[in-house]
Structure 1
Amino acid sequence: MIKLENITKTYDGKAQVHALKGVNLTIEDGEIFGIIGKSGAGKSTLVRCINMLERPTSGNVIIDEKNLTNMTDAQLRAERKHIGMIFQHFNLLSSRTVFDNIAFPLELIGASKEAIQKKVADLLELVGLTDRQFNYPAQLSGGQKQRVGIARALASDPNILLCDEATSALDPQTTKSILELLKDINQRLGITIVIITHEMAVIKEICNRVAVIEGGVIKEAGRVVDVFTNPQSQTMKDFVKSVINMELPAGIAKMGITDQPAPGYDMLVRLRFKGAATNEPVVASVVQRFHTYVSVLYGNIDYIQDEPFGYLIVVIMGSMEQQAKAFEYIKELPIGSEVLGYVPRNH
């Protein structure tokens, strides 16, 4: 388990920079945890505090009940063997082959040639690069270079793998293959993976939980499907928009929406579903219970890993009293709901 307790990080200079401001996070063993934020939010500083490449100004970094902030440099070097890291720009040694790049950390700890040969062969198979072991980095694609970086990070059998913008330099198809590899590694080896990214699609694809960082502060955290379907911070709302369109379609926006109910106007409502709630017969229930009509104007269903979520924009028709009672009923259901406004009848 990784526990960050009230982590702050301040850089001194002509003007002090407060990169992290009292960060508290708990990352469970074996999960894939995402930390998402815009450029300059503090996410890379945060991940470097986890392995103590950056010493926090204050606070505690506790991994498997060991407080890394109290350790000497020698103790930290030993502890970092259990923490692998991969980077956006791969950081491979250009003068060494794929095999030798992966072998490098094993050479540093004095492993035998036989042990290195077996370990590297296993890692090459794991990342799908056995046929590339004698190539040099210049002969590899970006995705292949990142696979080498992943294999090298796994050479010391870490319990934790930190990924700092590991897919940012890759095209979408290559990104997908790298994320599938990371998910496979997590499931096969049980390694805890922490992913730092500014790409919501990465979080949506493989993370179990996510924390949103903005200005060095954690704005919200939780299960990806919960944060994704009900974002609280402006940062997460912006990220969600990059993956699924939550804006009103242009045709609906031009209907003459007002803020207040009035005779001759119908209620415009957005419904949010997730998990089993996507099977709720909401529209049919409202029609039957309140003898009114519901018009579906727009719908969108997607998946976060294997969990469905979606949105419906509907118009609840009828008298103002019928509309109000229908919405009160909807609010009691296990779905999200909000009134977007009121539109003229016979729109």
Structure 2
Amino acid sequence: MLCINGIAFGEENTKAVVIDRMVNIYENPQGNSKAVGSAGAGDTLFVIGNEGKWLKISTENGIHGWIHSQSVLITDYSKHPIKEGVANEDCIYVYELPDPNSLLKGALGFTSKVSIVAQKEKWLHIAVGDEVVGWVPAQHITVAATPVYPKAMIVSDKTNVKVKPEYNSETMVEIEKNTIVLLKDYKADYFHVILTDGQEGWIHKYQMKTVHEIIEEKNKSYFTKHVVPSEEKNKNENKSGAAEDDFEDIKKAATLIGKDFTATAYDLSIASCGKAVGAKNRGFTSTGIDLNGKQWGDIMVVSVDSKVIPLGSKILVLFKADDWRSKYNGIYIAGDTGGGVKARTIDIYLGDNGNKQLEEVKKFGRGKDVEVYLID
């Protein structure tokens, strides 16, 4: 077991409880690998390791595989293999290896949000969003001493918050649909929740959905409805994307940053990033995320002014309904910065077309009155 400032990192056979209603267990630590089983809300899993933000688990009936860490709750935070943290200084270099002489991949700004997925001596292996980016010296990251509780949204019209995790328990308060709660513990089909006013009680597992699960559902629905297959793009060049209603649930779980942002777009071409294919550090964001060979949809990254939006944050971006750019509505990781990205401007990554600039980037221009919401 590893420790940083007295905080333990990882231990075999740590118990976890599934918080999503239904989740696949995968053969490999990738969401596109073969599913070897599934688990539902309240099921107990045993965590035996991690790779990035994926947990290697076994079930009570002997299934072994991988599950994303956001789909489970580990109530004993001291045994959680993944910790959250923030950069406590500006311009913290991110290296490919736990060695200051290795490849420099990027840098973190002050208060950048990271996940710590491993430790080696005085170095931390970090992820920005879901992307593992590299290693930083441990003294530059303040590790959260208490857990960041998962968010859930009430899906029943009226929900009774119980004093105890029992059907016949006294009701302490009734809350409305779409109310956000934090998940702290689980017992006998009930989640121990923290309400927005700080009160704590118990809610049945089927009266809520995790924000993580809602985001996954919205993303799948959005891509099915609005993302045009590549061979059809030329036929539907001006096809509008998702309406704001597609993300209404997410907006309720998020905090509005502003409705007056300007949005531009970039790719990995020489015109956009100034580096040819094969050049050193080409395709790495300022935080170290590797964009090489990845297209919009494969990875959702946006450049921000870190004084306005903390690096590492997950944000919702919404264009006006009548703007053709609304097909780029979606949930992004604030994983990059840029010289021209100042104040209330964001720059959306659209893909890698080698040295040649994407036509979509050329015509993107500047989207106005873009709404940006902070999810976490």
Common topology (TM > 0.5): no
Q: TM-score range by the shorter chain?
A: under 0.3
Q: TM-score, normalised by structure 1?
A: 0.23
Q: TM-score, normalised by structure 2?
A: 0.22
Which structure has more relative contact order (CA 8 Å, sep 6+)? It is 1
Instruction: Pick the structure with more helix per residue.
Output: 1
Instruction: Pick the structure with more strand per residue.
Output: 2
